[in-house]
């Protein structure tokens, strides 16, 4: 996946400044940075939940189309996991996972359900398949959300602070699923402040501030010896907690 010269404004606010980012197949990128840096906006731009003003975003060499059916199809290749889970409240866990494969990938119901059950087992919520989202804990819901994204067989997975709405004891169960996913070779872009995850699973840390990529390095280098003052300042703040 390749972003070149991506710019985005909200009115007079320049939220993405000239973003260039290349992500190789199977690479795991952790995006980190202070609040308001534009991390969420970056994720949302990658699957076009937000439009961009300038620049290009390409997946497998194919630029993302602007509008319509072609965009919807390409969006299916990018899995997204939200901070607030966003499971479909009126559908069961199983239906949450099979909706995309049936309606977008045109799989048969039987195939989609078989695959969905495999994925739900893999993320450890197989026995909850017939419940509704509201009956599950946050950690369980987030794992279902991961299974829902995986069911589309995406080329890339985006995670926007997937654990920051969770109670501490549930964070690990979600991170474990993500580490497993990284080990299986999934290409991932993860916005998170979980440094443990960054250290174990990430190939690269991208540090953003004020809408720009300030610095990128492998996790070890970034956490022990950051180059920029912005990154040093930011790390000293989060490490104090």
Ligand X SMILES: Nc1ncnc2c1ncn2[C@@H]1O[C@H](COP(=O)(O)OP(=O)(O)OP(=O)(O)O)[C@@H](O)[C@H]1O
DSSP letters along 6-61, please? EEEEETTEEEEEEEEEE--TT-EEEEE--TTSSHHHHHHHHTTSS--SEEEEEETT
Question: Which listed residue (22, 25, 54, 103) binds another protein by CB under 8 A?
Answer: 103
69 is an interface residue for another protein by CB under 8 A: yes
Footprint of another protein on residues 35-54 (CB under 8 A)? 47, 49
Give CA–CA dist 82/15, Å, rounded.
Answer: 19
The token duo for 200 is: 């174990």
Q: Of the two residues 39 and 75, which places its CB atom closer to another protein in the complex? A: 75
Q: Of the two residues 120 and 191, which places its CB atom closer to ligand X in the complex? A: 191
Least distance from Mg ion to the Cβ atom of residue 117, Å: 32
Question: Which listed residue (41, 140, 163, 187) binds ligand X by CB under 6 A?
Answer: 41
Give CA–CA dist 197/171, Å, rounded.
Answer: 11
Report yes or no: 192 and 219 within 8 Å, Cβ to Cβ.
no
Least distance from ligand X to the Cβ atom of residue 193, Å: 8
Length of the chain: 241
Instruction: Select the span of 5-13, 96-104, 135-143, 175-183 touching another protein (CB under 8 A).
Output: 96-104
162 is an interface residue for another protein by CB under 8 A: no
- Three-state DSSP at 151 gives coil
40 is an interface residue for Mg ion by CB under 5 A: yes
In the 8-state DSSP scheme, what is residue 87?
-
Report yes or no: 93 and 128 within 8 Å, Cβ to Cβ.
yes
Using CB under 8 A as the criterion, which residues of the chain lie in contact with another protein when the complex forms? 47, 49, 68-69, 72-80, 82, 84, 86-90, 99-100, 103-104, 132, 145, 148-149, 152
Using CB under 6 A as the criterion, which residues of the chain lie in contact with ligand X when the complex forms? 10, 13, 15, 33, 35-41
């Amino acid at each position: 996946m390749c972003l070149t010269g991506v710019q985005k404004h909200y009115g007079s606010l320049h939220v993405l400044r000239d973003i260039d980012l290349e992500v190789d197949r199977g690479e795991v990128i952790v995006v980190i940075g202070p609040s308001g840096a534009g991390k969420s906006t970056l994720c949302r731009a990658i699957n076009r939940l937000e439009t961009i003003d300038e620049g290009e975003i390409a997946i497998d060499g194919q630029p993302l189309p602007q509008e319509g059916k072609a965009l919807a199809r390409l969006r299916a290749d990018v899995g997204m996991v939200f901070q607030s889970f966003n499971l479909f409240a009126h559908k069961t866990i199983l239906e949450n996972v099979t909706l995309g494969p049936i309606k977008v990938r045109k799989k048969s119901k039987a195939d989609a359900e078989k695959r969905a059950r495999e994925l739900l087992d893999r993320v450890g919520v197989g026995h909850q398949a017939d419940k509704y989202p509201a009956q599950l804990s946050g950690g369980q819901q987030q794992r279902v959300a991961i299974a829902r994204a995986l069911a589309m067989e995406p080329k890339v997975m985006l995670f926007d602070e997937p654990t920051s709405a969770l109670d501490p004891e549930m964070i690990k169960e979600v991170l474990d699923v993500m580490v497993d996913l990284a080990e299986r070779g999934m290409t991932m872009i993860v916005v998170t402040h979980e440094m443990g995850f960054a250290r174990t699973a990430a190939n690269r840390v991208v540090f953003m501030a004020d809408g720009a990529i300030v610095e990128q390095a492998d996790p070890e280098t970034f956490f022990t010896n950051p180059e920029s003052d912005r990154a040093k300042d930011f790390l000293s703040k989060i490490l104090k907690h």
